[in-house]
Each structure stands twice: as structure tokens, then as C-alpha cells.
Amino acid sequence: MSEQSLDFNAKSTIKAADRDHRRKINFNMSRYNAVVPIGKQQFTDVHLAREKAKNIKWKAIESLDKQLENFEMQISRRGAKVIWAETAEEALSEILKICQAKKCSTIVKSKSMVTEEIHLNRFLEQNGIESVETDLGEYIQQLDGEPPYHIVTPAMHKSKEDVARVFAHKLGTNPNLTPTQLTLVAREKLREKYTEAQIGITGANFIIADIGGIAVTENEGNARLSTAFPKTHIVIVGIEKVLPSVTDLALFWPLLATYGTGQKVTVYNSIISGPRQVNENDGPTEMYVILLDNGRTNLLANEKSREALYCIRCGACLNACPVYKNIGGHTYGTTYSGPIGSVITPHLRNMDEWKHLSYASSLCGNCTEVCAVKINLHELLLENRHEAVDQGNASFGEKMAWRFWKKAMLNRRIMNMGSAPVKTWVVNSFVKDWKKNRSELQFPKKSFNQLWKERNNQ
């Protein structure tokens, strides 16, 4: 069992019994569940919209090389510099080179899961560069020294009282401030950073191939300020975020808003296709786009699991997952949690070390049911398990257990061996950890096979 698996088991055991944690996320998810059906009403046929979105992403991923080359050609024409990074280390190295060339001491950064994936804030801090999160949820998490809890709602696990305590401890504010007052405090602090920063860093919700642009969707305006105030704008985005055409946004922006937050469309939606042009007065003078692989081509090469790259990071599967609701986002120990994280992490990192995430599922299929682009998530979880076994990533004890199970299930005589008390004693005494989180298993006095024979006089 890997170190990550042991850590996951320990954390999930503690978190599943934390009633206060469950109360907080149930409250926040209940608000999400109340508004999403309203947002879906904007679609004449929401299932058809999802199917169309899946087909568009299929086209984009199947022709990913051509789409990215087209994007690079188009955005380069407007003065942006495109950098291809195969690994997280390459991406960090390129960012540091840019920072050193600009003599950068302060960076403002909008919400970006890719920067969390490569641990950008920690890297910049180690190199003496201040990196300030400007999304309110991310800012709260940064102040508290925690990574994001959720793909869309970074501080979902915190109540307003928790946030007030964090601000009081880190910023010296009154611990009894209301959410509105706390927001105004954050606004005041962050506005200063926008004017001080030499570089702004953002992610991208979508890469638009035909016009050479990046699309950013948000509700706070912090991404716009991060791209407009500093003289240099750096975009870090996974290569799978590509869309073939700018017209595709008419479908994807409403889908992302509805499935992410229940809105018809988010408050701020921007398309950025380069640095400030000759006839423009505002914006950065330089723009860099770092296209990050970091294991994504492993998924691209896998025909069965490739569709996981269709994900638009709406977070709907996290909100629907009964496992996530019980153990929370931090327990997973990886940037991408919930069902989509359990699917992609073993491919982005290492199957043997992270295969346990694919078992952290009830396989109820609710994640597939709510996915904005109809990714067959529960089937991909099973595919991960299959691949882990095929690759030999199973212990000797596990292999033997399944071998005996197979032999017994294919032989009626073996299945009928032993009385109900014997079977009950064997399972409750020898099956490791069975009773740790369950009541004792009690076998019925008569098996189905015996009942069938009795009722049919055989």
C-alpha cells in the first residue's frame, strides 16, 4: 500500500466522523442544489446541449495537436509568446526566468487550478517573490495556509465565522465582522497589490484555437484586474482546455456557469488574444502563454480514458459525489479531488501510488449523471481499477483473494460449503478491517440455492 493510500485512509476516517465539517459542506451544497435547476431552465434541451458540448470536446481532443498549433500561430501574430512545458518543473523554470528578467518582486494571481497543480505559490515564495491570490476564496485559503478545498469553491468547508477568525488572526480585523465587511477588507488589501505587482498570472477556462485567444470566466473581476494592471501577463493552462472556435463559447460559457454555480452566465467573461496593441491604451505590454502537459498526454494516448480530458472543471461531480460529501476535498491529497480527480490523478502522476482514489467511490453513477459534458466518470473509475491490475499494481494477498473468489464463484459445490455460522465467523474474524466501520456480517441460515431447491421441489 502506497504512502498516499495510507494517508488517504487515515484522513478519510477522521473526516468522515467530523459532523461539523459535514454540516458546513451540506449547507453550502444545498444552496448549490437549489439554484442549479433554475440555471438549467435557460436550455431548451439541457441533455442535447451537454451532448453537443461533448461532441465539440471530442473534436478538439482528437485533433489536439492541430488545434494547439493553430492557437499558437494566431496568438503569436498579436505579439504573445507561447511556451510549451512538458512538466511542472519546466513550467516553473520558465516562469522564474520571466520574473527574473522583469525584476519581479510581487505577483497577483487569479484563481487557477493549474497553478495549484504545479505548486506555483510555494515555488515563488522559495525564490523570494510574493504571490498574492486575488480570488476571495483562494485568498482566504492562502491566508489560512491551506490549498483549495473545491475546484470552484475553494473555501467551501469554511463557515462565515471560520473566515472571520482567519482574517482576525492574519489581518488583525474584528473577529465579529459580517461577510460584507470581510469582503470589503479583502478588497482594500488586494487593490493595493494590483498596483504594486509587476506580473499578473491567470489560468484559462478555455483556449480558443481559431482566433488565438484565451477565455476567462469569473464573478469577482479579479482576473480582469490581474491581467490589466501589471505590465506582464502570464497565462498557465493545460493543453486539454482547447475549443476549436470562438462560437463554441456560446454553449460552453452558459454550461460552465450553470453546472459550476447555478448561474445563467458568470458576471465577467473575457477573451484575451494578446498584449496591448499599438492603438490600445490599456493592458499589459507583454503576454506569455504556457501550455502545460504534465501528464495529460498520458491520458491522450489512452483511448478508453481519453474522454476525461473533456472536463471543463465545473465541479458538478464533486457536489454530487457521496464520498466527497463525507470526506471532503483535502483528504484526496491532490489538486483535483472528487470523481474527476480520482479518474485523472493516477494518469497525471503514478497509477501504482494513486490507484486507491479510483476505489474511493460508491460507483453510484451520479457523477456521470451530472457531468456538464457527459463524461462516463464511473466507468472510467472502473477502467482505472482494471488498468491497475493489468499493470501488476496489486498486492500478492489481493491477487490470491480474487483468485480464490473466482474459483468459488464458478463452483456451486464450493459456494455451498460451510454453514451460515461458519461463513459468518470466517468473514467477521479473518477479513481485515471488515468491522472497523461496519456492523458484523450475518449470513442467512439458508442460501439462495437451498431455498430455490426447496421451493421447486428439486
- For residue 270, is it within any domain? yes
Is the per-residue pLDDT at 430 higher than 80? Answer: no
Mean of pLDDT values over 439-450: 83
- For residue 51, is it within any domain? no
- Contacts of 40-46 with CB under 8 Å at 24 or more apart are 40/258, 42/254, 42/258, 42/264, 43/254, 43/258
For residue 166, give the CATH number of its domain.
3.40.50.10420
Q: Indicate the range of 9-13, 52-56, 323-327, 422-426 predicted with least confidence.
A: 422-426
Beta bridge partners of 223: none
* Cα 148 → chain centroid: 10
Is the per-residue pLDDT at 402 higher than 90? Answer: no
Q: What is the pLDDT of residue 393?
A: 79
Looking at the structure, tell me whether residues 386 and 417 fall in a common domain: no
Query: Of 294, 321, 343, which one is at a domain's C-terminal end?
Result: 294
Looking at the structure, tell me whether residues 104 and 216 fall in a common domain: yes
Q: What is the pLDDT of residue 302?
A: 96
Q: Which range, 176-185, 421-430, 444-453, is most confident? A: 176-185
Looking at the structure, tell me whether residues 247 and 203 fall in a common domain: yes
Give 89-122 pLDDT, tens digit per residue: 999 999 999 999 999 999 999 999 999 999 999 9
Is the per-residue pLDDT at 432 higher than 70? Answer: no
- For residue 60, is it within any domain? no
Looking at the structure, tell me whether residues 322 and 444 fall in a common domain: no
Q: Which residues make Cβ contacts (< 8 Å) with residue 35, sequence separation at least 6?
A: 261, 262, 263
Looking at the structure, tell me whether residues 227 and 79 fall in a common domain: yes
Which three-class secondary structure state does DSSP give residue 270?
A: strand
Q: How many domains would you assign to the chain? A: 3
Which three-class secondary structure state does DSSP give residue 61?
A: helix
- For residue 170, is it within any domain? yes
pLDDT bracket for residue 146 (50, 70, 90): very high
Query: Which residue type occupies 260?
Result: G
- For residue 128, is it within any domain? yes
Average pLDDT, the chain: 94
Task: Name the nearest CA neighbour of 53 among 305, 369, 373.
Answer: 373
Is the per-residue pLDDT at 345 higher than 90? Answer: yes
Looking at the structure, tell me whether residues 226 and 273 fall in a common domain: yes
Mean of pLDDT values over 424-433: 76
Is there a contact between 216 and 204 (Cβ–Cβ < 8 Å)? yes
pLDDT bracket for residue 5 (50, 70, 90): very high
Query: Of 355, 371, 394, which one is at a domain's C-terminal end?
Result: 394
- For residue 304, is it within any domain? no
* Cα 239 → chain centroid: 15
In this prediction, what percent of the chain has a pLDDT beyond 90? 83
Is the per-residue pLDDT at 1 higher than 80? Answer: no
Is the per-residue pLDDT at 154 higher than 80? Answer: yes
Q: What is the pLDDT of residue 179?
A: 95
pTM attached to this predicted model: 0.91
- For residue 235, is it within any domain? yes
Looking at the structure, tell me whether residues 443 and 381 fall in a common domain: no
Give 260-287 pLDDT, tens digit per residue: 999 999 999 999 999 999 989 889 999 9
Q: Indicate the range of 70-79, 109-118, 130-139, 398-407 predicted with least confidence.
A: 398-407
Mean of pLDDT values over 332-344: 96
Query: Of 227, 262, 294, which one is at a domain's C-terminal end?
Result: 294
Looking at the structure, tell me whether residues 323 and 290 fall in a common domain: no
Give 173-203 pLDDT, tens digit per residue: 999 999 999 999 999 999 999 999 999 999 9
Give 194-243 pLDDT, tens digit per residue: 999 999 999 999 999 999 999 999 999 999 999 999 999 999 999 999 99
Is the per-residue pLDDT at 300 higher than 90? Answer: yes
Looking at the structure, tell me whether residues 414 and 389 fall in a common domain: no
Is the per-residue pLDDT at 438 higher than 80? Answer: no
In this prediction, what percent of the chain has a pLDDT beyond 70? 99
Looking at the structure, tell me whether residues 25 and 115 fall in a common domain: no
Of residues 146 and 396, more confidence is placed in 146
pLDDT bracket for residue 408 (50, 70, 90): confident
Q: What is the pLDDT of residue 434?
A: 72
pLDDT bracket for residue 452 (50, 70, 90): confident
How far apart CA 8 and CA 138 sit, in angstroms, is: 23
Which three-class secondary structure state does DSSP give residue 219?
A: coil
Mean of pLDDT values over 71-78: 98
Range of the domain at 384: 1-41+310-394
How far apart CA 294 and CA 190 sit, in angstroms, is: 31
Looking at the structure, tell me whether residues 114 and 140 fall in a common domain: yes
- For residue 358, is it within any domain? yes
Summary count for the chain: helices (H), strands (E): 23, 10
Mean of pLDDT values over 434-450: 80
Is the per-residue pLDDT at 435 higher than 80? Answer: no
Looking at the structure, tell me whether residues 25 and 138 fall in a common domain: no
Cell of 46: 439541457
